[in-house]
Amino acid sequence: MPRRKNNPDSPTYFTTFQVARMLGVSPPTVVNWVNSGLLVAHRTPGGHRRITEADIGAFARANDYPLASSAETNAAGARRVLVVDDEPDFAEVLRSFLTIKSRFDVEVALSGFAAGVAVARFRPAVILMDILMPEMDGFEVLRTLREDPQTRSIPVVACTGYRDPNVESRVRQEGFDGYIEKPVRLDELAATLERVVRDGRRAPAEAAR
């Protein structure tokens, strides 16, 4: 989903991956356009490129690129994944794999608190949630999501390297929509996320099995 600031008159921003889908090119092509100055982009505090709707339109008109329809753009947004993990290197490995290998649109949040902000602006189709994080763990984040009518239907897959039968039992009881152990098998992770995106959130009784 494109991002809009609180002010309704603020521009709408798209990621390089969303722009690539809109213009029918690869993400590296969009990055090359940005680096060469052909396409105007802005940087987030985290260093990610964001491109306004107006700049995309100007570039498309100047270079005779047909834009995808808004319906096609929204359909592409159905593959948004939010990775919540306090290990930056691990999170970036997942981002790279899921983006390049599985063609997901991936955002990363490095804490439970950051996850709340990211969910509100990014609106992921599925969340991969680390369980053991300082200050606000994955269980607390899940409860917060389930209490909000705007986010309670987002599927959340638990991910942890803490091998304890009690943790896995609690994951099921809390109603996560899947469970992945670290070290993560990347192909298995991608398949799990594909399934969850396809099937959506399960009923609480089913998710607890």
Residue range(s) occupied by CATH 1.10.1660.10 in the chain: 3-68
Tell me if residue 192 falls in helix, strand or coil: helix
Task: Give the pLDDT score at 11.
Answer: 60
- Helix, strand, coil shares of the chain, percent, nearest 5, are 50, 15, 35
Q: Which H helix or E strand runs over 156?
A: strand 156-160
User: pLDDT below 70 — which residues of the chain?
Assistant: 1-11, 66-78, 202-209
Between CA 74 and CA 170 the distance in angstroms is 35
Between CA 133 and CA 135 the distance in angstroms is 7
Q: What is the per-residue pLDDT across 103-157, written as a single tens digit (0 to 9) for each?
A: 888 999 999 999 988 888 888 999 999 998 988 899 999 999 999 888 889 999 9
Question: CATH homologous superfamily for 77-207?
Answer: Response regulator (3.40.50.2300)
What CATH architecture applies to the domain 3-68?
Answer: Orthogonal Bundle (1.10)
Residue range(s) occupied by CATH 3.40.50.2300 in the chain: 77-207
DSSP 22-69: HHTS-HHHHHHHHHTTSS--EE-TTS-EEEEHHHHHHHHHHHTPPPPP
Which neighbouring-strand residues pair with 156? 127
